[in-house]
Amino acid sequence: MFLSNAVRDVRLLKGMTQRDVSEGIISQGTYSKFEKGTADIPTQALIGILNNLNIDLEEVLFIANGYSYTEEEKLYREFFRFSVTNTKSLEEFIDKCEKYLEVRNESTIAFLHQISKFLLEAFRNEDIYFNKSQALHFLDFFSNKEQLFIKDLYIINAIFFLFPVEVAHLTIEYVEKSLKKYKDFQSINRIEVNFRLNYSLMLIKDKLEDKALQQLDLLIPKVKSFKMHYQMAIVYIRKGICLHNLNQKEEGADYIQRGLLILETIEEHELYSHMQKEISKYQSSNK
């Protein structure tokens, strides 16, 4: 289905006339030709029409593709969703990428394929973490870009926790520039929260609790504002670990209990168990 056909179908389903959606943007005659696929319209006009229809471009593209994501978009979403430590998922994803790349040579899918092959081999060798040169090699893919776009941020976030802390410092500085530009974009808050949560754990592992606290304190108002409950629980627990290790044991214990209580309340039992293990692993017993 062409994009113009999808826009027409949405208009009809919403019970709107061609004049309703085109008025003040383009003439009804031009709009009619657009729906028939006999004329193109400027991008700004398309945006105005979609605003009048109260629908965004991503949804229209989804409809135009038969209420489905494109094969490329499906691969992106699968990469962002699966666990990088699941060998079966990695093998299946690599196979899908190879079949896609036989038909179309798309650089980002080729990059995801390369990352996945590396992770599969590393996991089989029981060492999934990147060393400095490996992490910098993967970051080179983005280094020639003046800014990172949303999909770039998602890709980096998916592998960020595997970086050594010295490369993570550089990555956060690089990422923060784009996060600021996208501060009003719909999904940016979740991306930023995930980045800083991953970074906080790296800093805790490296016994840099002061720096970890800075990241966690930046997150508290954000997770509260957007009602990110399980992320709030992780923030509280990690803040508690940091405070404990900095010899503020009473306050640290309070934050840990608050975090565990949130997870218990929202019935996140698997995450509750995981965070208890994290507490046992990273909370110092000699401070």
pLDDT (tens digit, 9 = 90+) per residue, 173-198?
A: 889 888 889 988 878 899 999 999 99
Query: Do 283 and 194 belong to one domain?
Result: yes
* In a domain? residue 152: no
Q: φ and ψ at 274, to 5 degrees? A: -60, -45
- CA-atom Rg of the chain in angstroms: 23
First to last CA, the chain: 64
pLDDT at 287: 45
* In a domain? residue 97: yes
* In a domain? residue 140: no
The CATH number of whichever domain residue 46 belongs to comes to: 1.10.260.40
Taking 70 as the pLDDT cut, the residues of the chain under it are 1, 83-85, 286-287
The residues, ordered by sequence, that sit 6+ positions from 75 with a Cβ below 8 Å of its Cβ are 93, 96, 97, 100, 109, 112
* In a domain? residue 21: yes
Query: Do 57 and 80 belong to one domain?
Result: no
* Structure tokens, 55: 């629908």
Q: pLDDT tens digits for 243-277?
A: 999 999 999 999 999 999 999 999 999 999 999 99
Query: Do 256 and 286 belong to one domain?
Result: yes
Query: Do 52 and 81 belong to one domain?
Result: no
The whole domain housing 101 covers 69-128
* In a domain? residue 150: no
Query: Do 199 and 268 belong to one domain?
Result: yes
* CA distances (Å), origin 34, targets 13, 131, 241: 18, 53, 59
* In a domain? residue 158: no
From 64, 89, 117, give the residue that closes a domain. 64
* Structure tokens, 57: 């471009």
From 16, 34, 64, give the residue that closes a domain. 64
Query: How far apart are the C-alpha atoms of 277 and 267, rounded to whole Å?
Result: 17
Query: Do 56 and 77 belong to one domain?
Result: no
* In a domain? residue 56: yes
Number of domains in the chain: 3
Q: What is the DSSP letter of 227?
A: T
Query: Do 255 and 283 belong to one domain?
Result: yes
* In a domain? residue 166: no
The residues, ordered by sequence, that sit 6+ positions from 219 with a Cβ below 8 Å of its Cβ are 193, 196, 197, 200, 231, 235
pLDDT at 286: 56
pLDDT at 144: 75
Query: Do 73 and 39 belong to one domain?
Result: no
pLDDT at 108: 92
From 18, 47, 64, give the residue that closes a domain. 64
